[in-house]
């Protein structure tokens, strides 16, 4: 199967996976409250999922290097389906936590394995394009999922979970029949001989700077997502409906630019794209402080989203090109650091917001500067050509 045929299949898979994930997002807080969850418990319910992904993404990446991508992708999607049905059947708060823990543990297999699959089937020249397509699919699924969840929640609060679980199960069947394995048997045997690296060893590797870059970018994005609704309500009087449109505009713009990653990376190279992405996202954070109405909120948030959106696929592309071990291992660590950022970001953003409403975005600019500096250290240390 050619790369031109495989990438649309991977796009469809990740779109459906994230569509199912997005369906439950607007419903889960209300569902948890019905079962007696406090605000703190709701926060823990959200955080435990990312924590499980932080812990287990590298493990699944390594497993995919050994046994193949397809079975691990199927395990990840099955985990999502199982967790959604467990959520639907929950009658006590502890059952919600079990469902999120199971879902986080198994679905941690999805992103690193799909990115490793892309690295397996694309040439270095087309690597950025492939990673961008996966990023676009993820973004679009996450945009349309909440809308679908909101519609079905009118039937009952359990309905979106049943819909998401069914959709994920059907996606797993789609993977079984349509997706071909990307690793040859000989490659698997060779990979199984390789010694796995511990987490501490990964931090000492030459690619550690790229992992930390992903962490800073993830902290910046998740911190903004956790606080911008409050900021826009206070500064511009925007309500929940308006904010939904603002984030949708940002998401569509981000997905569009990620879909164009092939053109960008071929013209400028991953290093310049990452530099531009950090600069543009930092500029967007600064402009957000000037938000006055719906239009400025949409434009400034979109500028940030476009900058942030091009960084991850470029980092994934560069990382897999530089990797000495299996693609699954390095993309697993990349996903792990992204998950860690999603744990730290909302807590840090909310804390800073309580000090001053603009502090999360000022801090985001600072983090962007740190990320830029770390990245340039990585480039010079590894003597990479810029452009």
Query: Are 209 and 160 within one domain?
Result: no
327-355 vs 208-236: helix crossing angle, rounded to 10? 30
Q: Pick the closest to residue 250 from 366, 375, 139, 365 (CA basis).
A: 139
Q: How much is the pLDDT for 326? A: 75
| pLDDT score at 186 | 40
Question: Residue with structure tokens 């390594």?
Answer: 62
Residues 210 and 344 in one domain: yes
- Look at residues 167, 168, 149, 24 and name the one whose alpha carbon lies nearest to residue 96: 24
Q: Is the distance from CB of 18 to CB of 143 less than 8 angstroms?
A: no
Domain CATH number, residue 150? 1.20.1250.20
Residues 224, 128, single domain; the answer is no
Number of domains in the chain: 2
DSSP 79-113: HHHHHHHHHHH--SHHHHHHHHHHHHHHHTTHHHH
pLDDT at 378: 82
Domain boundary among 163, 193, 223: 193
* pLDDT tens per residue across all 387 residues of the chain: 566 789 999 999 999 999 999 999 889 988 999 999 987 898 899 889 999 999 999 999 999 999 999 999 999 999 999 999 999 999 999 999 999 999 999 999 999 999 999 999 998 889 999 999 999 999 999 899 998 998 899 899 999 999 999 999 999 999 999 999 988 744 554 454 454 555 555 666 667 888 988 998 899 889 998 899 889 999 999 887 888 889 999 999 999 999 889 889 989 999 999 999 999 999 999 999 999 999 999 999 999 999 999 998 999 999 888 876 678 888 999 999 999 999 999 999 999 999 999 999 999 999 899 889 888 888 888 776 565
Task: Decide which of 193, 210, 238 is a domain's last residue.
Answer: 193
Domain that holds residue 4: 1-193
Q: Which residues 6+ apart lie within 8 Å of 39 measured at CB?
A: none
Its sign, for the CA torsion 94, 224, 218, 302, is positive
Q: In terms of domains, do 219 and 176 share one?
A: no
Residue 199: predicted pLDDT: 56
CA dihedral 280, 281, 282, 287 (to 10 degrees): 90
- Residue 95 CB contacts under 8 Å (≥ 6 apart), including other chains: 86, 89
Are 106 and 77 within one domain?
yes
- Do 184 and 208 lie in one domain? The reply is no
Q: Give the whole-angstrom CA distance, residue 21 versus residue 16.
A: 9
Q: What is the pLDDT of residue 201?
A: 58
Q: Does one domain contain both 179 and 205?
A: no
The reply to whether 99 and 123 lie within a common domain is: yes
Q: Count Cβ atoms below 10 Å from residue 381 Cβ, excluding itself.
A: 10
pLDDT at 207: 75
186 and 233 part of one domain: no
Same domain (yes/no): 175, 214? no
Domain boundary among 177, 193, 209: 193
User: Beta-carbon neighbour count of residue 176 at 10 Å?
Assistant: 13
DSSP one-letter string for 6-40: HHHHHHHHHHHHHHHHHHHTTTHHHHHHHTT--HH
260 burial class (0-12, 13-18, 19+ CB within 10 angstroms)?
A: middle
Q: Are residues 120 and 48 in the same domain?
A: yes
pTM flag (> 0.85): yes
Burial class (CB in 10 A: 0-12, 13-18, 19+), 236: middle
pLDDT of residue 25: 87
For residues 189 and 209, membership in a common domain is answered with no
SS (H, E, C) 185-221: HHHHHHHHCCCCCCHHHHHHCCCHHHHHHHHHHHHHH
């Amino acid at each position: 199967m050619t790369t031109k045929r495989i990438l649309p299949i991977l796009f469809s898979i990740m779109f459906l996976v994230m569509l199912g994930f997005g369906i439950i997002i607007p419903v889960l807080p209300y569902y948890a409250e019905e079962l007696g969850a406090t605000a703190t418990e709701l926060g823990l319910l959200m955080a435990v999922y990312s924590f499980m992904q932080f812990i287990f993404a590298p493990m699944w990446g390594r497993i995919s290097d050994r046994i193949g991508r397809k079975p691990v992708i199927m395990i990840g999607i099955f985990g999502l389906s199982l967790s959604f049905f467990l959520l639907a059947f929950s009658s006590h708060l502890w059952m919600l936590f079990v469902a999120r823990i199971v879902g986080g543990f198994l679905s941690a297999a999805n992103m690193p394995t799909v990115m490793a699959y892309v690295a397996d089937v694309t040439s270095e020249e087309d690597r950025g394009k492939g990673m961008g397509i996966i990023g676009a699919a993820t973004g679009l699924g996450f945009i349309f999922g909440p809308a679908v969840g909101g519609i079905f929640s009118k039937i009952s609060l359990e309905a979106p979970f049943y819909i998401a679980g069914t959709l994920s199960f059907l996606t797993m069947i789609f993977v079984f029949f349509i997706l071909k394995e990307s690793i040859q048997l000989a490659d698997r045997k060779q990979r199984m001989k390789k010694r796995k690296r511990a987490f501490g060893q990964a931090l000492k590797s030459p690619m550690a700077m790229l992992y930390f870059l992903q962490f800073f970018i993830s902290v910046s994005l998740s911190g903004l997502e956790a606080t911008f609704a409050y900021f826009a309500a206070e500064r511009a009087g925007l309500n929940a409906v308006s904010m939904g449109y603002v984030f949708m505009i940002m998401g569509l713009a981000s997905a569009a630019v990620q879909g164009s990653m092939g053109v960008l990376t071929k013209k400028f190279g991953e290093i310049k794209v990452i530099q531009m992405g950090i600069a543009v996202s930092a500029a967007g954070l600064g402009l957000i402080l000037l938000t006055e109405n719906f239009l400025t909120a949409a434009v400034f948030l979109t500028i940030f989203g476009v900058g942030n959106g091009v960084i991850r696929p470029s980092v994934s592309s560069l990382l897999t090109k530089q990797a000495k071990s299996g693609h699954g291992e390095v993309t697993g660590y990349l996903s792990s650091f992204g998950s860690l950022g999603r744990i730290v970001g909302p807590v840090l953003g909310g804390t800073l917001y309580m000090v001053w409403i603009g502090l999360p975005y000022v801090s985001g600019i600072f983090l962007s500067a740190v990320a830029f500096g770390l990245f340039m250290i990585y480039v010079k240390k590894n003597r990479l050509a810029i452009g």
